[in-house]
């Protein structure tokens, strides 16, 4: 358990386990990618020097890119514990603000790390927004293609199969009450 100026910081049980596991995967990955990019920088720099010494025209842009990539991934590796502490404290608004910059830099300088950080960002975004407003309850079958539900009190306990069709539009009309059928297309009883 770590301690900070505001008190102990730990992974509380109410913390989202998906965010925590993504952070636990991102930190070692950022260090490995920083080391790989550093090695690629050294190889590119040596090749640039050798090609220049031989007289072959070459560009140092490859070496510069790998140097910047190594630095960015090292900075991501250094920043991830602070971001993980914000997630453990459920300070998702502050985490979201700081996470976007690192996710974009990660996508630019090493796609794997950037995509992983974007997944964390999107998970934080869904944690902030909460469940969708106005969404039908699970299992209610409420989608845009289903017929509207008849008014309260119009549904019966046992419904026989569709046996009648609307005389106005020809759509199937389910049985809703003793002797009554409801056409969802026309929104009328008969």
pLDDT per position as a tens digit, 81-109: 988 888 888 888 888 888 888 888 888 88
Q: Which residues pair with 183 in a beta bridge?
A: 188
CB 29 within 8 A of CB 113: yes
Give, in order, the Cα–Cα distances in Å from 66 to each of 21, 148, 160, 167. 28, 59, 70, 73
- Selected residue with higher pLDDT from 36 and 190: 36
Other CB atoms within 10 Å distance of the CB of residue 151: 11
Is the predicted pLDDT of residue 45 greater than 70, yes or no? yes
Going from the C-alpha of 170 to that of each of 26, 36, 114, 179, 185, the distances in angstroms are: 59, 68, 55, 18, 9
pLDDT of residue 153: 54
CB atoms within 10 A of CB 117: 27
pLDDT tens-digit series, residues 131-150: 544 444 455 444 445 555 55
Alpha carbon 158 to its chain centroid, in Å, reads: 43
Percent of the chain with pLDDT over 90: 9
């Amino acid at each position: 358990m770590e301690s900070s100026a505001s008190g102990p910081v730990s992974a509380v049980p109410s913390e989202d386990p998906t965010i925590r596991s993504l952070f636990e995967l991102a930190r070692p990955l950022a260090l490995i990618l920083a080391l790989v990019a550093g090695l690629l920088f050294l190889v590119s720099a040596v090749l640039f020097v050798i090609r220049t010494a031989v007289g072959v025209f070459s560009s140092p842009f490859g070496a510069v890119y790998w140097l910047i990539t190594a630095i960015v991934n090292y900075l991501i590796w250094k920043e991830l514990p602070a971001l993980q502490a914000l997630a453990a404290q459920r300070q998702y608004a502050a985490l979201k603000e700081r996470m976007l910059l690192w996710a974009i830099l990660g996508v630019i300088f090493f796609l794997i790390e950037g995509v992983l950080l974007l997944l964390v960002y999107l998970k934080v975004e869904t944690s902030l927004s909460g469940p969708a407003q106005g969404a039908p309850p699970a299992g209610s079958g409420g989608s845009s293609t289903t017929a509207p539900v008849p008014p309260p009190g119009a549904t019966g306990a046992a419904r026989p199969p569709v046996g009648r069709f609307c005389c106005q539009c020809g759509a199937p009309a389910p049985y809703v009450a003793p002797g009554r059928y409801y056409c969802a297309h026309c929104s009328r009883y008969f």
